Chains A and B, each alone.
Chain A
Amino acid sequence: MKPPNIANKFSNSTVCCFLLFGLFTYAQETSTISGFVREDATGEPISYANVFLSNTGLGAATNNDGYFVITKIPSGQYVINASMIGFGVYKKQIDITDGETIRLDIRLIEQAIETSEILVTAERQKFERSMESSQISLDLREINSAPAFVEPDVFRTLQMLPGVQTTSDFSSALYVRGSTPDQNLIMLDGIAIYNPYHFGGIFSTFNTDAIKEADFHAGGFPARYGGRMGAILNVINREGNTQKIKGAANISLISTKVLLEGPVPKWKGMKGSWMVSGRRTYFDKVVDALKIPIEQKSDGTNSYLTFPYYFYDYQIKINLDLTPNHRLTYTRFYGDDVLFFKESDTRQVDSDNNVDIVVDSDFGINWPWGNHTNGLTWRWIVSPTIVAKTFFANSRYRFHFNMDYEENQTFTYADTTEFYNTAFNFDIFDIINDNTLESEIIWKATENQEVTGGFQIRDVHFDLGIEIGITTLDTAVIEKPLDLNNTTREIAFFIQDKWDISPTLKFQSGLRATDYNLHDRLYLDPRISLKYHYSDNIALKLNWGHYHQFLMTANPQDENFRIVDLWMGIPEDKEASRSQHTIVGIEYLAPNNIFYRIEAYQKDFDNLLTLKQGEITTENEGEVYSTPFNEFWDTDAEAYGIEFLVKKPTGRLNGWIGYTFAETKYFTPQSGWHPPNWDRTHTLNIVGNIELTTDLQFSSALSASTGNPYTPILGRVYDWGHTLNSSTYWYPYNSYLVGDKNSVRYSDYFRVDIGIIRKHGNLFGLAYETYWQIMNVTRHVNILGYAYRTKIDYSGNRMGVERRKVGMFPIILTFGVKFEF
């Protein structure tokens, strides 16, 4: 491993940082109002709330923390307003004198009646403030708006947005504008999550009950984010109720979820909140409790049916306001899937008069996989215009398949007893340990300019291996046929400047510089955004940027199902993967609050790596080793497309319509240019939600798209094997001959889901709501793949090949009930 040549690499970046801090010293003393906007009932911060001074052009929107700052306020008397959808308008008269700094903690009261003034104002905030193309924020209501498979799922909702594709109904992984899931940075409260799925991707790990909102960038994201080149998803959890202890429980067909939240007891001026949520599937426990006998063991007892799988996750978030300007936030997320199986048996072996032989055997499989994260964030409001955030986080993903067999033999003679023991152990594991220290400073330099700068140090330890152990009473042998152990370090500095050049023109520029310890070079990622307001309701956007990535998953490209991800750092002898995004778009926010967006994008990818899926050997100095996950095709890719989005976020009838035309092509020396197996050329998604009555809500989702590509089989060809020992012979075996990679497509995909939610139920004073959902209500057979079989006659003669469709979701009915207390 080379020592990082930080001094040389960062000379330019260091200059930038000094410039940044130098600029801070020029922060002018002007009258300023800053503060937080929160829900009155819960204390949760409100994002995108509009805060403005009546009869002036002065105002601001709250960020994800609910924080706002209005600067350059002349002295005088004003009425400050704060509004947000679903809440009553806050108004307060204030007097401001020169150089005064006012701190406000604004509480908005939930209000069922929504005035048109409020609706327009809230949506307009997003329309006017957002610089980046392809960004969308989903709140809990929107996440829950689409009918879900068993449980609401943020990833399933995101899959209904333009530009997002998937491989099948069985996967909630996000393929965004030509990028694979490993190119997406998925964060929970800012902490990277490496494999955010349960049950092989059918469910995401994020418990929607705990989510406040999900911030999704399909591309063109700013310099603030790095290390990935696809999309950004930051799932922000609720902070917890600061007023009183509350709870909710959700019982679905597969799991029970519980959420508790409440205030931290006040002590020496400190205050805060906490939130705990957890979920566990219970099918394994139900099957265990039923005690269904399946066979009788040799000792006469019964073996019972088991369901050897469950998953769980829990999240903890604690906020502690040490002072009005200092906050500590502790975030913890634990989520695991566990496949387990254990069987013990005792048997008496036939024995003669001299000896009794008893054999005890234990066989077990234990396969946990999942994420554990811990993060501590310190937010410091240095001044009303400068906010610093520093966090340290550990994110650990691992899968660890362990299979054990142990046999104990007891030989009992007339005068003595002998013991023999044999144990076999097989382990395959991939453990990623990510420690990240990150700091950013957001400085609202002037009314028209906001500068953000910071650094990130990310140490990632990868441990991918196979261990085979055999032990007896006196001997132990451990083999490690695969042992890839590596630590990578990314040190990144970034700076970005958001500049409102004029009321109609905004420009954001940024630069991210990253040192990767395995490579002797500095990776520079410039990024720019331009936004032009053609009119009050129409905005044109342009985004361009470079993105580098230093880790990847090494899964086979043709896999039909992905249970686990095999993460690796980019090897020393390979260039970091690189992508360039170019996005142009036009947005229109209609007076009736319907949002229209058209975006065209083009992405180039270089230095991607594709695992040679059949390559299980590596040549090294003439010897051949069995080392999977070590041989790659150098891969380039290109993606382009155009997307349409019409979104009606509010009202009795709400939802969105998205259409995507997309082309993605990958190039490997082996297969040439070809579409990946998740590419869908045309995709139409319609999500609708209607309040039938105050108690009854109906939702539906329609998804139609071009079928996924697959590689056809054309004919048969002979391949040969050989035996070269005491005798020599070669033997042919019949192989299928396949055509060009992914050159044909399955029939078109079509699925309609519907759901009904009945609210405001009351069971012995306990509020509850019930939900019913039907997936694939039209019973359309969407093809996951073809299963092939050879017709063989009585003489072993092959008569031909047949195939049948293997479908995705059939029609599925699910239901659940949610309690609040």
Chain B
Amino acid sequence: MVFLGKGCLLPPEVWEDVESDYDHVLNVFGVISLDPTLDSFVGLYRTTDLDELSQIFVGVDTVMYIEGEEGEDGWWWIDSIYEPAALIKNAIIHIIDDQDNIFNFTFIETEEFYDTTFLDTLGWHFEWIDTFNVRMNYYKDTTGTFDPQPSRTYKLSINTLNYDPVNGELTTPNYPVLIDSMIQDTVSSTEPYEVHWEFQENAQGLLTGEILFDNLFSFTVGSWCGGKFERAVNLSDSTYTVPGEFCDDTGDSLAPEDFFIRLTAMDENYYEYFITSEVEEYSNLFLNNPTTQGRSVGIDGGFGVFGSIASDGITRTIVP
């Protein structure tokens, strides 16, 4: 036997704190969206130290009052609110178009969203409209004047105290167009089918497909095989054949579902950051996750990306 007496022969495990000693830089995530339902924004953070708290407590949110059991007092459900310690709120951020128009992006802490719930039962129709605030912590155009256009150049300028300025540049993609008439009405998750779009030269994108389940708690969600796909495509190819999935269970008992096909065109920066770029430039068996020295795509002076997308989507029926 090889004698290894734990506690006697093996050294004890001693954990020590790791400290940081480096100059922080800004950490940027900026997206110019050509999709009308999606605002353009810039998220701004900084790199942080290893011995630094990752988030800081900024207040409480009183969610609701919980009634107590019979004879007992109720209590208030209060949620603590944290925000990333790396968040930068006081920067001056400008987007400049190729006509030298300057758009000021200002910090937005929260945005109000609406959630509507419908219920039809016993001949009665119920409708609830609920409003809630979501912490966004990003910069966006609040004047409504920023209206990005395809195939245009936009520059990013970020200035803030104590950090080097960050500048970026991109050229927005053209809108992709899926050709509705050339995509079959009903597709099968187990059979190949073609997706067609209008030709674009020197453009890349991401083609995705997703089943739109009416009820996410339905039994059918777990039983579906295939359907979902994601594929980086060259928009000059104009077509892509989605391969059928190999499914052991034919799923004959499953009902057809709605199926959403989306083609997203991307500028070069976005494509490089999300599709082709190396993310594991340094790996270590003992470091849990591979990591990098920091990635900068489309920006100078900090880490992160400045990219742009434009999308088109259609809905079809999918059968098992």
Using a CB–CB cutoff of 8 Å, the interface residues on chain A facing chain B are: 150, 253, 422, 470, 472, 475, 477, 556, 558-561, 612-615, 617, 619, 621-624, 670-671, 710-711, 713-722, 724-726, 728, 730, 732, 734-741, 779, 781, 785-789, 795, 797-807, 810-814
Q: Are A797 and B53 in contact (CB under 8 A)?
A: yes
The listed residue with most A CB atoms (<10 A of its CB), out of B14, B274, B283, is B283
Which residue of chain B has its CB nearest to the CB of A811?
A: B9
Q: Is B48 an interface residue (CB 8 A)?
A: yes
What is the bound-complex CA distance between A558 and B283, given in angstroms?
A: 6
- Given known pairs A623-B233, A725-B209, the reply for A716 and B4 (CB within 8 Å) is no
| In the complex, chain A residues whose CB is within 8 Å of the CB of B232 | 623-624
| In the complex, chain B residues whose CB is within 8 Å of the CB of A737 | 22, 47, 291-294, 303
Jot down 21 A-B pairs with beta carbons below 8 A, ordered by A: A613-B280, A622-B233, A622-B236, A624-B276, A715-B20, A715-B52, A718-B304, A720-B29, A724-B262, A725-B260, A726-B210, A728-B311, A735-B289, A737-B291, A738-B292, A781-B11, A788-B18, A801-B18, A804-B13, A804-B14, A812-B3
Which residue of chain B has its CB nearest to the CB of A470?
A: B246
Instruction: Identify which of B10, B49, B246, B305 contacts A810 (C-beta below 8 A).
Output: B10
| In the complex, chain A residues whose CB is within 8 Å of the CB of B9 | 779, 810-811
- Given known pairs A724-B309, A736-B291, the reply for A622 and B2 (CB within 8 Å) is no
What is the bound-complex CA distance between A679 and B106, given in angstroms?
A: 50
What is the bound-complex CA distance between A800 and B55, given in angstroms?
A: 11
What is the bound-complex CA distance between A144 and B281, given in angstroms?
A: 41
Q: Is B308 an interface residue (CB 8 A)?
A: no
| In the complex, chain B residues whose CB is within 8 Å of the CB of A720 | 29, 273-274, 304-305
- Given known pairs A614-B280, A622-B237, A719-B295, the reply for A560 and B208 (CB within 8 Å) is no
CB distance from B75 to the nearest CB of A (A): 19
Q: Are B3 and A785 in contact (CB under 8 A)?
A: no
The 4 closest A-B pairs by CB, nearest first: A614-B280, A622-B234, A798-B54, A624-B232
Q: Are B262 and A797 in contact (CB under 8 A)?
A: no
Q: Are A798 and B53 in contact (CB under 8 A)?
A: yes
Q: Are B16 and A802 in contact (CB under 8 A)?
A: yes
Q: Are A670 and B20 in contact (CB under 8 A)?
A: no
Q: Are B293 and A614 in contact (CB under 8 A)?
A: no
Q: Is B288 an interface residue (CB 8 A)?
A: yes
CB distance from B58 to the nearest CB of A (A): 12
Question: Which residues of chain B (1-49) have a CB below 8 Å from chain A?
Answer: 1-4, 9-11, 13-18, 20-22, 24, 27, 29, 31, 35, 38, 43, 45, 47-49
Which residue of chain B has its CB nearest to the CB of A712?
A: B18
| In the complex, chain B residues whose CB is within 8 Å of the CB of A717 | 27, 47-48, 294, 303
Q: Are A615 and B234 in contact (CB under 8 A)?
A: no
Which residue of chain A has its CB nearest to the CB of B6?
A: A810
- Given known pairs A253-B2, A810-B4, the reply for A801 and B50 (CB within 8 Å) is yes
- Given known pairs A614-B280, A781-B11, the reply for A738 and B291 (CB within 8 Å) is yes
What is the bound-complex CA distance between A614 and B49, given in angstroms?
A: 25
- Given known pairs A475-B246, A804-B16, A812-B4, the reply for A622 and B287 (CB within 8 Å) is no
What is the bound-complex CA distance between A730 and B38, given in angstroms?
A: 12
Interface residues of A, dominant DSSP? strand
Q: Are A730 and B287 in contact (CB under 8 A)?
A: no
Q: Are A617 and B206 in contact (CB under 8 A)?
A: no
Q: Are B282 and A558 in contact (CB under 8 A)?
A: yes
Instruction: Identify which of A613, A788, A799 contacts B287 (C-beta below 8 A).
Output: A788
Q: How large is the interface on B (under 10, 10 to 19, 20 to 34, 35 or more residues)?
A: 35 or more
| In the complex, chain B residues whose CB is within 8 Å of the CB of A719 | 279, 292, 295
The listed residue with most A CB atoms (<10 A of its CB), out of B13, B233, B279, B291, is B291
| In the complex, chain B residues whose CB is within 8 Å of the CB of A560 | 284-286
What is the bound-complex CA distance between A810 and B230, given in angstroms?
A: 48
| In the complex, chain A residues whose CB is within 8 Å of the CB of B206 | 724
What is the bound-complex CA distance between A556 and B284, given in angstroms?
A: 10
What is the bound-complex CA distance between A622 and B235, given in angstroms?
A: 8
Q: Are B293 and A715 in contact (CB under 8 A)?
A: no
Question: Which residues of chain B (144-181) have a CB below 8 Å from chain A?
Answer: none
Q: Are A614 and B279 in contact (CB under 8 A)?
A: yes
Q: Are B210 and A725 in contact (CB under 8 A)?
A: yes
CB distance from B168 to the nearest CB of A (A): 15
Question: Which residues of chain B (206-250) have a CB below 8 Å from chain A?
Answer: 206, 208-210, 212, 228, 230, 232-234, 236-237, 246, 248
| In the complex, chain A residues whose CB is within 8 Å of the CB of B14 | 804-805
| In the complex, chain A residues whose CB is within 8 Å of the CB of B11 | 779, 781, 805, 807, 810
Q: Is B264 an interface residue (CB 8 A)?
A: yes
| In the complex, chain B residues whose CB is within 8 Å of the CB of A813 | 2-3
CB distance from A670 to the nearest CB of B (A): 6
- Given known pairs A422-B248, A617-B276, A803-B18, the reply for A713 and B287 (CB within 8 Å) is yes
What is the bound-complex CA distance between A738 and B290, given in angstroms?
A: 10
The listed residue with most B CB atoms (<10 A of its CB), out of A477, A726, A736, A738, is A726
What is the bound-complex CA distance between A422 and B281, given in angstroms?
A: 39
Q: Are B282 and A738 in contact (CB under 8 A)?
A: yes
- Given known pairs A713-B50, A800-B50, A804-B13, the reply for A718 and B27 (CB within 8 Å) is yes
What is the bound-complex CA distance between A787 and B287, given in angstroms?
A: 6
| In the complex, chain A residues whose CB is within 8 Å of the CB of B16 | 802-804
- Given known pairs A556-B283, A622-B236, A624-B276, the reply for A715 and B29 (CB within 8 Å) is no
| In the complex, chain B residues whose CB is within 8 Å of the CB of A779 | 9, 11
Q: Is B204 an interface residue (CB 8 A)?
A: yes
- Given known pairs A623-B232, A734-B54, A804-B13, the reply for A724 and B287 (CB within 8 Å) is no
| In the complex, chain A residues whose CB is within 8 Å of the CB of B303 | 717, 737
Instruction: Identify which of A724, A799, A803 contacts B264 (C-beta below 8 A).
Output: A724
Q: Are A722 and B234 in contact (CB under 8 A)?
A: no
What is the bound-complex CA distance between A730 and B309, given in angstroms?
A: 12
Instruction: Identify which of A785, A786, A814 contacts B2 (C-beta below 8 A).
Output: A814
CB distance from B84 to the nearest CB of A (A): 8
| In the complex, chain A residues whose CB is within 8 Å of the CB of B80 | 795
Q: Are B29 and A718 in contact (CB under 8 A)?
A: yes
